[in-house]
Each structure stands twice: as structure tokens, then as C-alpha cells.
Amino acid sequence: MRRRTALFLRRHGTLLTCLLALAASVPAYAQDGAEPQLRRFGLLLDAGAPHGVGLSAVLRPLPWLRLQAGPTTNSLSFGLRGGVSILPFQTFIAPSLNAEAGHYFGSDYNEVVDWLGATPSRTSAAIKDVTYDYVSGSIGLEVGSASRFNFFLHLGLSYVALNVDDASALLQDATDDPDVTARNLAVRATVPSVKVGFLLYLF
């Protein structure tokens, strides 16, 4: 029996040595080649039209799902927004599907008129509470979507709702009739939207 064992080891010792080395190297290779740990929390900074500049906190509960929320400004007032992004591919360059909703708090009508390129109203000081809501959807290109740093470009459409709580002063100025009265004024529109920005995952 010992003689057979010695003969087997002599003939196949080299093969056994290679197999043992390979078996020992597999766990190490699997550990080195494993996917990096998913970073779940980060910060996002973006700018675009028509919704201005925003800074958001980011949560990524799953590799293909990203949630974000934070403050925004459009140079007229400050607002809040929240959004969700679907990242179907975990590659360095990947597409994304994005949806976002936001609200801008009351701002001065005179600044709104300037923003639209019209002549300011003489009575614009009486109109202070202009609010702005929007819902947008976009398709994006994400560069670095599977890494710590991410640059993105989003193109889509936005449904915008502009509201004036009391438009009486505006109509009185436009018609030059101090007896004209009005209730809420609402403007609704669907407009193209574009956004560029970057995202840094912290941990």
C-alpha cells in the first residue's frame, strides 16, 4: 500500500501541487475581483433651465435606485425639491431615467417680470406672493455611475405651474382701471428642461 501511494505521488505530485495552489488562489482572486462596496450616501450639485441651481442629499438604497432631496434657487426665490433616478446598468457610462418635483416659495412679481423680459409693472410692489411648482421627467447620461464620483447630463420635459394669489394690481395696471378685481392667476406650461451636474458619494 505504501509502495502504491509513493508511486502515485511520484507520478502525479506535480499535478497535485498545481491543483492545491489553484485552490488556494481562488478565494484570494474572488476577494480582489469582488465588486466595490456600494456607497449609499452623497451630495449632488446641479444647474439647469428652467429650474435653476440645486444642492441635494443623495441616498442610494440599491445599486440601480437613487433618491435625492434638497434646496433650490432660481435667482427669484428659494424652493425645495425631491427626485428619483433609475440606473438600469452599473457601468462607467450608463443611461438613467429621472423624475423630479419641486416647489418655489413666494417671490416678488417685479423680479418675475424682469425674468420674463417684460416691462415691470408700476404696481408690482403690491404683488409679492408668486409661487412656482413643477414636475419633470428626463433621460440622462451618467459618467461614472458605478463609481464614487458621477457627472451627468439630463434632458427632458417639465410641467410648470406659476401662481399669483391676487392678480388685481397686475390687471389694474395693465388696463389702467383701478376698479378691476381678480382672484388667483395661474399659468400652466410644458417646457423643455436641461440639467448638468455632478454627484459625490461620501460613504
Tens digit of each residue's pLDDT (9 = 90 or more) over 38-75 = 889 999 999 999 899 999 999 999 999 999 999 999 87
Residue in 139, 59, 58 with CA at minimum distance from that of residue 95: 139
Per the CB < 8 A criterion, the answer to whether 138 and 158 are in contact is no
Q: Report how many helices (DSSP H) and strands (DSSP E) the chain contains, helices first.
A: 3, 8
Tens digit of each residue's pLDDT (9 = 90 or more) over 85-98 = 999 998 999 999 99
Q: Which residue has the higher pLDDT, 102 or 184?
A: 102
Cis ω on the peptide bond leading into residue 61 (within 30° of 0)?
A: no
Residue in 16, 19, 68, 20 with CA at minimum distance from that of residue 42: 68
What predicted TM-score, i.e. pTM, was given to this entire model? Answer: 0.70
